[in-house]
Amino acid sequence: MNRISIVIIFAQIILSFFSLPAYAQYSDKEEYQLLLDEITILQNNNLLPEDQHALLDSANAYADKNMYDIAAVFLEELVQSQPVFDNGEPRFSPVVRKNYELFIRTGIDYNRQEFEVGYFQTDSVFIDQVQKPYIAVNYRQYLLRNTLNSTFFFLDFRYDKENITTLAKLETDFTTKYFESRINFGFMYDNNALFPDLSYKEGNTRQYFRWQVSPGMIWLLDNTLRYKKYRAPSVSVPDFIRDQLSSGFTLWGGGSNSYSFNYNLDYNESLHIDNNDYRMHTFDLAVSNIGPAFFNYTLDLAYRANRFEYIISDSVIKNNSQSIFADINITVNFMPQARFKAIYRPKIKSYRIKTEQEPDYTYHELSAMLNFDLSTLINMESGFLFESKMHKEFSGSLTEYIKEQNYYGSGLALGFNYNSLDGYYISLSGSYLWRRYPDAIDLDIFRMYSNKNILSLLLMLQIPISRHLEINAFISYDNDQDLDTDENNTRSSFFSAEIVYKF
């Protein structure tokens, strides 16, 4: 499904607070891939029952749209819901799988955004609303399929009043006792009826390799290359080539400790235009204990260097940035059905060329949650949120324009998850954040940074009606209330629902 960018950003923010990542030292894409590896083991041994494929199908649908953060949520629920062995014996009997998969989806995407703007004693509300009923067909044909190897052709077609989008992909997977590879080639075509200039063609390929070098060492290489060409490229929307490379080693020491050394390259080159070009290198070192224990932790320390170019007012801005950041996850399992979870993400970022628009800053993000299993199917959590971003002044800078960007916030969060073995999945999460800008400039006409209270809600549903029919829904709501003026309030809501028929 196509997703409006603001909805994707909102979903990522919510999921960062409420998802419980099993592999926090990895990116969203890497976390998705690692979880998919676990599911593949179950499938290859015929241990994944047919009535559990709905979660996997949803994950694949989001992953095909590069929404790996949401896809990982579905896979994590699927992994955690599989008590594969009971008293030493496999719980599920082997199932016979077809050589093809066919899905028909129909539903609606609805997005509404409201912006209040005040100017000289008057105020207005701008409303941007989009309703897009759609129909989609997903077809996967296996050309080769056995326990260790598979080759398949995948076709996805979607039609709504704005877009006709087609994705075709050919993939081959090869697995041995110590080695695994996945290689695919894809082509995507999108025709935009409302904005024809945004229509595009895209060719892409992915190469994934994982090799168990020794009993205590695994090497991973994952590379994705994309070439995207628009019908009418422009300065703001240029054609581009993008390559995302990830490689690293994971080592297992004594006990259940693991150590990871990773390198990531994100390279984007706009064609014929020097805008949105960047070369981002990331190095990280992570250590964690992954086995059952009273105290579980993941400590990830990373360094990132980014060289980028973009255009502002017909001027090409070239700059370099450096970031040092960490991802610290702690879990205290003080009861079998209850645990304390904390995630702390500090970050320090600096620029080679310093401006009031891009000053150096220090950022802190903390979430502390109490997590409870009310039953084998129901999980709840609640806790506290904190954030802080402080910008650094530099010689010759206009102090007031830098300090006004500083903010801090605190809030509360709640989460509810229901997941059953027969395919039902319900996830509801919400947060209320008090964000304050203590040094914001108070202007009668306009105020860029102002104190606000932010309410965010997210609901995800998957309801199987029968063996072949299911209903999916994705609902988000974001309400920013400006406390310093009677205007400048924003509200964003997104609703997507679909009926899926699986042949």
Per-residue model confidence (pLDDT) at position 122:
41
Q: How many CB atoms lie within 10 A of CB 333?
A: 16
Range of lowest pLDDT (72-76, 337-341, 488-492): 72-76
- Antiparallel, parallel or unpaired: β 122-145 and 100-119: antiparallel
Average pLDDT over residues 143-150: 86
- pTM here is 0.78
Average pLDDT, the chain: 81
pLDDT tens digits, residue range 96-145?
Answer: 457 889 999 999 988 877 655 544 344 445 556 677 899 999 999 999 88
Average pLDDT over residues 431-449: 79
Contact 40, 78 (CB under 8 A): no
Using 50, 70 and 90 to split pLDDT, how confident is the model at 493?
confident
Contact 240, 228 (CB under 8 A): yes
Give the residue with greater pLDDT, 40 vs 461: 461
CA angle 423-503-136, nearest 5°?
90
Using 50, 70 and 90 to split pLDDT, how confident is the model at 420?
confident
**Distance separating alpha carbons of residues 245 and 456, to the nearest angstrom:** 33
Using 50, 70 and 90 to split pLDDT, how confident is the model at 351?
very high
pLDDT tens digits, residue range 11-51?
Answer: 333 333 333 333 333 455 656 666 665 565 555 444 555 44
Using 50, 70 and 90 to split pLDDT, how confident is the model at 95?
very low
- Residue 246's closest CA among 202, 214, 297, 284? 284
Instruction: Please report, for residues 295, 316, 371, 414, the alpha-carbon distance to residue 335 in angstroms, rounded to integers and kept in the order given.
Output: 11, 57, 10, 20
